Structure 1
C-alpha cells in the first residue's frame, strides 16, 4: 500500500495513522485518514522507498491477491521504488518525536521468554543480551 494513499492500508500504515490521530488530537470523521496523512506529511513522516529489483515482481502484483500497485504514483512504479510504511520507518518517526522512548521486544522458546529494551534488535536465536530480562517457562 502506498504510504500516502487512501485506497489501501497495510498494518504499519494503520499504526502510524493511529499515532497521528492521537498526537494531533484529530476528531473523528469520514476524512480522518486523509487528515492523519496530511498531519504526517507536515510532521515530516517519510517512508523510505522500497527498491523492487525485478520487473517480474512488479508484474506479479497483477496476479497476487492483496498486493497492489495501482495506488502508487506512476513515477514510483516506473522507478521501481515504492513508498511503503515499514516497521523501521514507524520506529524512526516515533524516535524523532519522542527521543526518550524505547522499544520493548519479546521472544520465546519452549523454556523461556526474553524481554529486551532498546531500539537495537534482540539477539538472533532469542539469546538474551546484556540487560535483557529472562523469564523461565516452567
Structure 2
C-alpha cells in the first residue's frame, strides 16, 4: 500500500462532520409541494404534452434521466455492445439541466473543455471558455 500524506479515517470523519452540518432536521418537509399555485412548475413549457398509453417493455438497462449523465451511460453501454436499454426522461426532450434552464444569460460556470462530455468523440469545439446554455443544449 502506498504511504499517504493524510489519514483516511480522519478525512472520512471530516466529510461526515461537514455533511452533518448541512443536513436539515425537517428532511423532505423543507420542500414545497408542486400543487395548487405551484402546479404549473410541473408542466414542460417547451413542448406540448401529448397523452399516450404507457410504454411497457422489459429492457436490460433502464436509465433514469436524459441529461448528460443518462446520455453518457447510454453512449457507453452502446460502445460496450449493450443495446437493450431505455432512457426515461420526464421532459419533452433530452438535455437535463440545460433543457429546463433556458433563461437569458444561462451558461456553464465551469470551463467548457472540462465540463462538456464527448468532445473528442464528436469533434465539437466550444465557442467560448464558459459555454452559453443554448450551445450546451445543442451539443
Q: Which TM-score tier does this pair reach, normalised by the shorter chain? A: under 0.3
Q: What is the TM-score of this pair, normalised by structure 1?
A: 0.26
Higher alpha-carbon Rg: 2
Q: What is the TM-score of this pair, normalised by structure 2?
A: 0.26
